[in-house]
Amino acid sequence: MRSADLIFSGGSIITADDGGPAEPSHLAVSDGRIIAVGSDEVLGHRGPDTEMIDLAGRCLMPGFVEAHTHPTQDQTLYLDCVVDIRPVTTCPTAADVDRAIKRALDVAPAGEPLVFYGLDVLLQTGYPTPTLEWLDRIGPDRPIIIWQNSGHQAWANTAALRNAGLTDATPDPIGGSFERDTDGHLTGTVYEAPGVEAVVAPILFAALRGPEALAKQHAALAAQGVTMCSDMAFSPAMRPLVAALYEQNLARVRMRVYETSTPALTTDYPLANGDDLFQQIGIKIWVDGSPWVGNIDTSFPYLNTPATAALGLGHDHRGHANYTEAQLAEIVGAYYPRGWQIACHVHGDNGVDKILDAYERALRAHPRPDHRLRLEHCGAMTAAQFQRAARMGVTCSLFVDHLYYWGDVLADDLFGADKGGHWVRTKSALDAGMRVSFHNDSPVTREEPLRNMSAAVTRTSRTGRVLAPEERITVEQAIRAQTIDAAWQLFADDITGSLTPGKYADLVILDRDPRHVDPLDLPGIDVHATYLAGQPTYRR
């Protein structure tokens, strides 16, 4: 019998494997892979050099899989030129934002650019919308950008616009825009990924000099029990840096990346690429924007409230798509027939119809039995739309953390108790027969898989308010969405996502079994250790 390098026992073991033993007590690992899961018979793999790991009553389960995140963006939060002002991390109030900006301006070297990431006037109530005049006044001689927490909007001063090479004559990028006043002059406000990237990227790329910042982000993911993540909106410019990360053995998680679609509608990367640690598997596209900006494509209007007024939205405001149906069809038609998986950002119900129409045309013209085409976030997606998507073989990654942080805002300030309360219809997706994942869309919210699970199971906001309890799911279903089903979405369920013999020993040890705590207490479970292919990547 093959000798094990590691044997875990002495606690509960969750396999997330429908075909595995129901309540195993032992798990054996050899050469980075799981070789046995079961009861006392697993001890037959014990050899003279086997390390016996006593779980001491803790819980062993598959490492968490983060199916929609942005590690190459997250790494920039470790740069000296970026200041974290997110409401969910450092600046819960408007006063905190004000202090953070003043402090950074006081200590930053003269002329050095500053990017303040994470402004959210819905949570940081009372903070005024930045203006070009104000930004120029506080930074007359340095580029300054304030980046909205969703990532879909930013405010730049004149020095930042100049640094990016933008002028009044610069045309809007496809899928984004540069706001102009009535005289045609840039106001410094930019929208959507193409517009935001135009002002932010020149500063961030100049500051990234090696893989150290990304290594810190990998370590942060491992500390949350994550063993695999995506990169949604991956830039080819990041390839050398990511290659260095893995070559220098600084990586702590597996990565599956989705390159951002471009107006050229092509990628020079081959479909067959990478290895079990890193692969590009798809293309990221967008339909609409962010509910916190006002530009999601819905069939219903925003409410008329002080919050929507603070966002600058007019009476009965209704958002719209950033792309026409013809443009969506062209983008999907350019990448999908070449074999790429596509992941599409969409929140509004009108937007969902548009991208499903585009997917349906592509599937009809180019049938593929296992395409796993994706929709991302899916805030206002209806039960009928989940059913339609499931029939097409489309899968969804759900931003359930919205319910915890913005649940009250959605119901009271933006969309009302019906539309806002039913945000992210998780049970409707499962009832449709769909396999779903959960995500944090970091840096929008912190990486917190256990809070995602709690949000999906309880649908409880920060104030204790329960939103659409009929859309609650079970803890067991939530575990799958954060492990094996997320790995399936990333075409990695053959190597990770469950504790199955033959798969990599990508593991997390939790201090408590998530099946045996109050679901509201799931976020309080500590990660004790994380393993990638049997090697520890984090230990508390």
Q: What is the CATH number of the domain that holds 20?
A: 2.30.40.10
Give the pairing type, strands 59-62 and 64-66: unpaired
pLDDT value of position 1: 83
Q: Are residues 119 and 242 in the same domain?
A: no
Q: Are residues 161 and 121 in the same domain?
A: yes
As for how many domains the chain has, the answer is 3
**66 domain-assigned:** no
Other C-beta atoms closer than 10 Å to the C-beta of 39 total 12
Using alpha carbons, select from 521, 408, 424 the residue that is nearest to residue 461: 408
**What's the domain range around 382?**
212-532
Other C-beta atoms closer than 10 Å to the C-beta of 312 total 12
Q: Rounded to an integer, what distance in angstroms lies between the CA atom of residue 232 and that of residue 17?
A: 27
Is the C-alpha dihedral spanning 326, 327, 333, 339 positive or negative? Answer: negative
**401 domain-assigned:** yes
pLDDT value of position 102: 98
Give the pairing type, strands 527-532 and 535-539: antiparallel
Among candidate residues 207, 227, 258, the one where a domain is terminated: 207
Q: What stretches of 366-435 show up as alpha helix (H) in DSSP?
A: 383-392, 401-408, 416-421, 426-431
Among candidate residues 140, 174, 207, the one where a domain is terminated: 207
Q: Are residues 96 and 51 in the same domain?
A: no
**69 domain-assigned:** no
**CATH number for 456:** 3.20.20.140
Q: Are residues 243 and 202 in the same domain?
A: no
**119 domain-assigned:** yes
Which stretches does DSSP call E strand in 166-324?
177-180, 186-191, 226-234, 254-260, 278-286
Q: Are residues 170 and 232 in the same domain?
A: no
Q: Are residues 53 and 105 in the same domain?
A: no
**176 domain-assigned:** yes
pLDDT value of position 281: 98
Cβ atoms of 283 and 303 closer than 8 Å? no
Q: Are residues 194 and 274 in the same domain?
A: no
Low-confidence stretches of the chain (pLDDT beneath 50): none
Q: Are residues 322 and 341 in the same domain?
A: yes
Using alpha carbons, select from 528, 534, 508, 523 the residue that is nearest to residue 226: 508
Cβ atoms of 87 and 124 closer than 8 Å? yes
Q: Are residues 221 and 199 in the same domain?
A: no
Could you tell me which residues are beta bridge partners of residue 258?
232, 282
Q: Are residues 140 and 253 in the same domain?
A: no
**507 domain-assigned:** yes
**196 domain-assigned:** yes
Among candidate residues 207, 234, 260, the one where a domain is terminated: 207
Q: Are residues 280 and 393 in the same domain?
A: yes
Residue 508 phi/psi, 5° resolution? Answer: -135, 140
**CATH number for 175:** 3.10.310.70
Provide the Cα torsion 426, 431, 433, 439; round to 10°.
10
Q: Are residues 499 and 413 in the same domain?
A: yes
**174 domain-assigned:** yes
